[in-house]
Structure 1
Amino acid sequence: MEQSERLAASLSEEGRYRLLVEAVVDYAIYMLDPAGIVTSWNPGAERVKGYAASEIIGQHFSRFYTEEDRAAGLPAKALETARTEGKFESENWRVRKDGSRFWAYVVIDPIRAPDGGIVGFAKVTRDLTERRDAQLVLERTREALVQSQKMDALGQLTGGIAHDFNNLLMAVLGSLELMRKRLPDDPKLLALHENAVKGAERGRALTNRMLAFARRKEAVAEAVSVPALVRGMTELIQRSLGPAYDIELRFPLVDRPVLSDANQLEMALLNLVVNARDAMYDGGRIVIALREEAVTGPDDRRLQPGSYLCLSVSDTGIGMDEETLRRAVEPFFTTKGIGKGTGLGLSMVHGIAERSGGRFMLRSRAGEGTVAELWLPAADRAALDEEARPAPQPSAPAGLVVLAVDDDPLVLTNTVAMLEDMGHAALAAESGAEALDLLRRTSGIDVVVTDQAMPHMTGLQLAAEIARHWPDLPVLLATGYMPDPDGVPLDLPVLEKPFTEADLAARLGALVPPRSERLISFAGRVRRG
């Protein structure tokens, strides 16, 4: 007979069971008496829970539960479930000897005498902490991927809508600007005109928010003095708030600038202030504060090491519960009534902070107000002084021949009217192919102003063709929606839609230096083959 067989034959059934239990080190296996007192303890239990057999035998098994679970009576409920239902099974937190917690899978089975009475319980515990942590990481990664895909889809949708809005606003604002020069000095007509302009400007502000959310609006990083920016906005902010709200500014004496886009920073601050106002129904005080802080290592804000300025907006309003706070920066999520909020404000602020190399953080509790913090990287004071020097404005050239290209007839008509009002000769093309055909058949064109988002041939593609065949002909890209702002060549100037006549004149002045004499008339210079 083999040695193993002789050993098995020599052991009683109880001995074989004990040998098996003692060999298991990945599971805590132990026995309880009917009251829950530990009566046996295997090496796996010592490995999982940290107690030696001499420390735990004779103790109640409830000591492995967390304080809150003991207070809720869960140990007694577990034994009662095993007694009445024949088995107890669960996953929950348990406590080791050193006080640390681990995620445990627990099974309790009743041990019955021949007459059916309960003589004790067999308890098996497995440490699933690593598996649970891995599962949580997987779930968070999956959720982040889904959220990223959703945000990308929303960004594409929002950017496309903003493009169409920009074209409409371009036609409306441009026409209103030209109309103003021709209106009689009738107060009623001028008041209506001003009201129409204000409405269109509100539409432009909404479009800018949509573009900032979609990350399709070109940001110009520059050194910005936050105190100067806020003080310059104080009147606008106060008008936006109304007389029932007070503004308190808390700024340090050292005026160190931040590195950000000034226009987008203004928009972000205005959004935060308006949100603070809406959280205080009966008026109150809004505190706008600024502080500088050096980040030296990893922290909960996920900021890279360096110097930062924190621009915060605090209110004493209704605050947010945990669920609202968690969703606050989601696009289109709003707690305001219908027509009172787009749900894009905080997501836009979040996007501005991220693009600036900073972070946007919210702290709030229901009934205790909200603190919104915009963390932005600090810039050198010398950079601010350099920005403060006024750049020389190029003088607008006169008598240019300009080819305007846009697939939207409203915008194209408006651009041509602006050019003619400035004293230029304008040619029009509704596509890139038509523009190239005009260039082949027409001499004397000084500059091309083209839209970007056109079917079949984009503005960038048209600019590349012009550079290939007419390398000395300047091209101005006019767009309100750039799918990939980083893909624009550095030497290609961009004019943001909707633009004014002054904006267009300044860009043309930078592109085409003024000529002292133009000896050839428009009609003579524009020759068609």
Structure 2
Amino acid sequence: MPGQDRQSEDIQLLVRSVVDYSICLLDPAGHVTSWNAGAERIKGYRAEEIIGRHFSVFYPPEDVAAGKPAMELEVAVADGRWEEEGWRVRKDGTRFWASVVITALHDERGELRGFGKVTRDLTERRNVARALDERGMLLAHLVRAQEVERRRIAYDVHDDTIQSMVAVGMRLRAMESGLGGEQAAEVRGIGEAVEAAVARLRDLTFELRPPALDEEGLVEGLAGYLRQVTAGTGLSFEIDHRLDADPPPEAAVTIFRICQEAITNVRKHARATSIRLSLVSLDRGVHVRVADDGTGLPPGAEGPLRHFGLIEMRERAEIAGGWWSLTDRPGAGTTVDFWVPAVPHA
């Protein structure tokens, strides 16, 4: 009937025009069949780029590997709908915290015609709530306490232990000049061991707390760290930063520590020639990408690299309320992607 057709057209126009919600239809197998303005704004795909693709493209790799998209459709068919909040993935690979409702659509004969999927981006609301909750405040205080202790140890080692050892080295050189033969050689060997120990301690104090992080902020702290660890290695680096402002101290420290671990892994394991680091303000947080052109992770890398490096990076990001992921391209390098909220805590 003409009236019903006009009403249907109006509803379709409304759905297509909504920008605050991603509204799309899926076929029974989960492929996208329609796309609205809100879906393009939230997820970054134009209609011609996404229609026909499976909706699992919106899920983090670990959820896809666990079969989560298929499970959600099964529950929607069995119960009529599926609803949750969780991480979803944009076209550019960044994640956002989403409220998702999937509804099974049946025709008048009860046959499954597909699914309606409504997604809302709740990232900003989640970040503000987290900044006010007890867990967020506890994390902020914990990070501050850890960094104060790291700074104290670094200063103590630099101002006390290193200076004492430097003085010992100077006395050994003075002793060597008054000796000859084997005795001079022995004293020289001891002096060289002391100098090597002093160099290692200087590296340790820099790892504990790079001076630029306190004095000049996150970007210069990372630049200083990269200059220090790539010197003499043949590694080049570049930093691209588009930050609205320097993040709060606890967020800056979390970002620095994750980058520090990622850069160390590149230097020690990747056999790379370059490192590319980018920092961008996104969703009231900071999105960071550390990419190299090395060999990628070795097949089945389950040893110390994965256990002590990758897990630590992921845990730091997730404890801060963010996310972390690794893209490995064997023979073409790896990319560490992560995002942490940058909302000041009380």
Q: TM-score, normalised by structure 2?
A: 0.44
Q: TM-score, normalised by structure 1?
A: 0.30
Larger Rg: 1
